[in-house]
Amino acid sequence: MMYLVAYDIELDKNRNKIAKLLLKIGLERVQYSVFIGPLTEWEYGEIQEKIEILIKEDPTYSVLFLPLHNDMIQSIVEVSSNKLDWEYLKGEKTIMIL
Amino acid sequence: MMYLVAYDIELDKNRNKIAKLLLKIGLERVQYSVFIGPLTEWEYGEIQEKIEILIKEDPTYSVLFLPLHNDMIQSIVEVSSNKLDWEYLKGEKTIMIL
């Protein structure tokens, strides 16, 4: 299943750790604090658990996890100076064009 | 239709203008750079056009517009120090609890 993960994390140290975690698990960074990519059910659970542990001492934080159905990904509109490679993000091809 | 709008805008002036625009049109700020709320088809077109005009001179920018189906909103997971009022965001009640 594809997911969008967006965060607002006050402490630099924890924000950086979580960014690394999201990239390591295979998500792509589509904005500074927004990531999109496929996660298995197991990965989805694991990542939530790891993030909860990492940020539980932070004064303020918010991490949103949105499942993205395929028809929704088709409807995403991007106004951007650097277009994303949506075919890659949708898993329709395996090499990303940057 | 409910939408999620997420932005990455380099210039403070334009970022602030777009935040004001999104709030004025009725979206709620759920993270520093993420907004959710209902938009009519007309509002959705208008807001895209206004944002495109505002940021076309920016060196780098990205604004994502995601339509959110109701079943998707039910599946959003939030790991947060300050829980959002999802019933309000889904339009199930008209007063937001902060």
Residues 30-89 of B with CB under 8 A from A: 30-34, 48, 51-52, 55, 58-69, 72, 75-82, 84
CB proximity B10 to A under 8 Å: no
Q: Do B76 and A71 form a contact (C-beta atoms < 8 A)?
A: no
The answer to which of A18-27, A57-66, B18-27 has the lowest mean pLDDT is: A57-66
Which has the closest alpha carbon to A12: A22, A4, A20?
Answer: A20
| Residue A32 pLDDT > 90 | yes
How does residue A98 score in pLDDT terms, banded at 50, 70 and 90?
low
Q: Tokens 């932070």 label which residue?
A: A58
Task: Copy the structure tokens of residue B76.
Answer: 């959003």
Look at residue A26 and give its three-state secondary structure.
coil
The answer to whether the beta carbons of residues A72 and B72 sit under 8 Å apart is yes
* ipTM score for this prediction: 0.84
What are the residues whose beta carbons fall under 8 Å from the beta carbon of B14, sequence distance 6 or more? B54, B55, B58, B61
Task: Tell me which chain B residues have a C-beta less than 8 angstroms from the C-beta of A72.
Answer: 66-69, 72
Residues from chain B contacting residue A31 (CB–CB below 8 Å): 6-8, 33, 62, 64
Residue B22: both structure tokens together: 């999104």
Band (B97; pLDDT cuts 50, 70, 90): low
Residue B89 has pLDDT above 80, yes or no: no
What is the model's pLDDT at position B96? Answer: 66
Which of A44 and B84 is assigned the larger pLDDT? A44
pLDDT (mean) for B41-69: 91
Tell me the per-residue pLDDT of B52-61, one tens digit each, with 9 for 90 and over: 998 888 888 9
- d(Cα B94, Cα B83) in Å, to the nearest integer? 17
Put residue B90 in one of left, alpha, beta given phi > 0 → left and psi -120 to 50 → alpha. Answer: alpha
Question: Sorting pLDDT into bands at 50, 70 and 90, what band is A97?
Answer: low
What's the whole-model pTM score? 0.87
Asked if B62's CB is within 8 angstroms of A80's CB, the reply is: yes
Q: Average of pLDDT values for A54-78?
A: 87
Task: Give the one of A60, A65, A84 whose C-beta lies nearest to B81's C-beta.
Answer: A60
